[in-house]
Structure 1
Amino acid sequence: MKKALIQLHIAVFLAGFTAILGKLIHLNEGLLVWYRLLITVVTLFVIMYYKKQLVKISPTDALKFLGVGAIVAIHWITFYGSINYANASLALVCFSATGFFTSLLEPLILRKRIVVIEVLLGLLTIAGIYIIFDFHPQYKLGIALGIIAALGSALFPIFNKEFTKRFAPQTITLYEMGGGLIAATLLVPLYNLEFPAAYYWPTASDWVCLLVLGWFCTVLSFNLQLNALKKISAFTANLTYNLEPVYGIIMAFIFFKENKSLHYQFYIGVGLILLAVILQMYRVYHQTKNYKTPAL
């Protein structure tokens, strides 16, 4: 359990850095996601081919991977769109709605009972988002896209919980990113009709950021998260990912000085979100200490 939580927190830190890279890459969000997926799929395929780790899967599993990959692609496009139409800090804060969505969707999809404390902790993060939204109405579109991204983020680990029982993390990541690449290839041209791109081929600096995004913030981060999901619940994983805004916001303050454009209500909202994360981590620790079993 301890190792799983450490792996998860490293993955969360890497995920928080994606917002900074998204701000530094000047491609529009649709093309950014397409290149990120392409780099990830090619990298994983080459590594797994030479290590003889490629695994054949059934058509049924292939369709499932394609569906989850499509969710990932839409999640990323709306996330980077949120950065574009608001800023990195607010886009990351909207991620905190993930815990609330998970507390409702995980019992529904996996046919488990609803845990009241999880719903309450999720609502605490929603309260934090509401306080931030109420004082930043000029970012309405960006926040709306961020909420959609949070919904996609909630679904991803729920569906992956089943896959982690049957497939290695590298296999799951390869096939899901492949599904995401197919979905993005179909969706991005339509997206660009509505939101035209200024240019289509990455610059040299774009390529550097895209490679870091693909290799470290996707391949490494996804493997760490999937390994952690073998020991912890999807809700715990998603609520822990609420630390992503904390890490990302700190980096946004350092790199882009975004704190100069934020009011004190922003910090109240972030404080509520952080409180929800701390309470859940205490809950997981308490259960593990008393029962010596993985937290539910």
Structure 2
Amino acid sequence: MISKVQFRLQFLVLLWGFTGVFGKLVTLSALPMVWYRVLIAAIAVFIYMKYKKIDFKVSKNTLLKLLGIGGIVGMHWFTFYLSIKVSNVSIALSTLSMGALFTAVLEPIFYRRKINLYEVLLAVVVSACVVVIFNASPEYKMGIIYGIICSFLSALFAVFNSRIQKDAVPTQVTFYEMIGGIITISLVMLFFQPSGFEEVFTVSWSNLGWLTLLGVIFTAYAQIESVDLFKYVSAYTMLLNVNLEPVYGIILASLIFGDSEQMTPVFYIATAVMVLSIVVNGLVKAKFSK
């Protein structure tokens, strides 16, 4: 029988799987899109904290950490949507599974524990699947590269977030991380894509509607929930379950966008192996926990 934590985790991954769809629904370029996403999420969390009378006060050290992690989150989303813009939703989501490999290496470094050979081998299987996808879809080369960078950033902030939740409540973490994301994306846009500000100030009502939904439900709520779940699961378990994100996202994208999301059989086989790795991980961990 599925536990409450497992149900929450899978629902969270389903929400994340849907975020890729917004990459096509919103016609803004990647930077302005992420700028709006973090801004709307920050406003939503601010209103929620005011309503619930949650204290905004955190230590200076924690604040700086949260702003820094928020910058990583912002760049993670930027590379994610950049991957979608230059390829498609399926490619961007499938490469996220590389996060398991990066986490298997990063967690031992930050937690000062021995590298778990089993975790590394399982992550290598996932990485091999990405290589197969790369060879089967060379026309999406840049999308895959941006997706791999995105997966590394996801592993990095997952490891950091799994530690920071001890110093602040989930709403505080999410609020200040979104502020950090706004600052980082604004600076990147200022120095590398000034034209992005023109898109920000001329956004259409339809784009704003999609962005509001993305910011409130799929970002503010999802981020608070993910930080809270780190009380019960490790960063590695979180990232390995995120491997289901491509499955949810690819199914949703295929239903919504049709032929533009159709991939080769090799792509779907590689994605299926990724899902199998999650099942194997769950079975092995359940056996050892007993």
Q: Would the TM-score normalized by the shorter structure come out above 0.5?
A: yes
Q: Could you list the per-position Cα deviations for residues 35-59 of structure 1 after superposition, in whole angstroms to 9, with x for gaps in the alignment?
A: 0011011111122123210231122
Q: Which amino acid aligns with 2:258?
A: K
Tell me if the contact between 1:89 and 1:258 (Cα under 8 Å) persists in the aligned partners. Answer: no
* Residue type of the alignment partner of 1:78: T
Q: Which whole-Å deviations, capped at 9, do the CAs of 1:232-253 have from their partners, x for residues lacking one?
A: 1110000000100010000111
Q: Secondary structure at the residue paired with 2:168?
A: coil
Provide the rounded CA distance (Å) in 1 between the counterparts of 2:60 and 2:282: 38
Equivalent runs, 1:47-196 vs 2, <5 Å: 47-192=48-193
- Describe the superposition over 1:5-50 as per-residue Cα deviations: whole angstroms up to 9, x where unpaired: 2211111100000000121000100000000011011111122123
User: Secondary structure of the residue that 1:230 maps to in structure 2?
Assistant: coil
* Structure 1, unpaired ranges of 5+: 291-296
Cα distance in structure 2, aligned partners of 1:171 and 1:60 = 14
State the 1:259 CA deviation: 6.8
- Runs of 4+ in structure 1 off by over 3 angstroms are 195-200, 258-261
* 1:112 match: secondary structure: coil
**Equivalent residue letter for 2:10:** H
Contact 2:189 2:197 in 1 (8 A): no
- The TM-score, its normalising length taken from structure 2, stands at 0.94
Amino acid at match of 1:108: I
Contact 2:95–2:147 (CA<8 Å) still a contact in 1?
yes
Q: For 1:199, give the aligned amino acid.
A: E
Query: 2 CA distance for matches of 1:34 and 1:84?
Result: 16
What amino acid does structure 1 have at the position aligned with 2:161? Answer: N
- Give the match for residue 254 of structure 2: 253
Gaps of 5+ in 2: none
RMSD across aligned positions (CA): 1.7
Task: Please state how far the C-alpha of 1:165 moved relative to its aligned partner.
Answer: 1.9
Deviation string, structure 1 residues 130-170 (Cα, Å, up to 9, x no partner): 11110111111111000000001001121111222232111
How do residues 18-29 of structure 1 correspond to structure 2 at under 5 angstroms?
Answer: 18-29=19-30
C-alpha distance in 2 between matches for 1:264 and 1:35: 36
User: SS of the residue aligned with 1:167?
Assistant: coil
Q: How many residues align?
A: 288
Cα distance between partner residues in 1 of 2:88 and 2:198: 19
Provide the rounded CA distance (Å) in 2 between the counterparts of 1:31 and 1:276.
35
By how many angstroms is 1:4 displaced? 2.0
Name the aligned partner's letter for residue 229 of structure 2.
A
Distance 1:23-1:273 versus aligned 2 partners, 3 A rule: same
CA shift in 2, pair 1:258/1:273, >3 Å: farther
Q: Distance in 2 between matches of 1:202 and 1:27?
A: 8
Q: Which amino acid aligns with 1:113?
A: K
Aligned to 2:210: 209
- How far apart, in 2, do the equivalents of 1:287 and 1:231 lie? 17
2:34–2:185 Cα contact (<8 Å) kept: yes
**Residues 280 and 35 from structure 1, CA distance in 2 versus in 1: closer, same or farther, beyond 3 angstroms?**
same
Deviation per CA, 1:46-89, whole angstroms, max 9, x where unpaired? 22123210231122111111110110011000000000111000
Q: Take 1:30 and 1:243, find their aligned partners in 2: how far apart are those partners?
A: 26
Compute the displacement of 1:202 (Å). Answer: 2.0
Aligned to 1:293: none
Identity %: 37
CA distance in 2, matches of 1:246, 1:205: 27
Structure 1 counterpart of 2:36: 35
Partner of 1:294: none
Change (3 A) 1:286 1:228: farther
- C-alpha distance in 2 between matches for 1:264 and 1:135: 9
Question: Which whole-Å CA distance do the structure 2 matches of 1:101 and 1:39 have between them?
Answer: 30
Q: Is the 8 A contact 1:27 1:197 kept in 2?
A: no
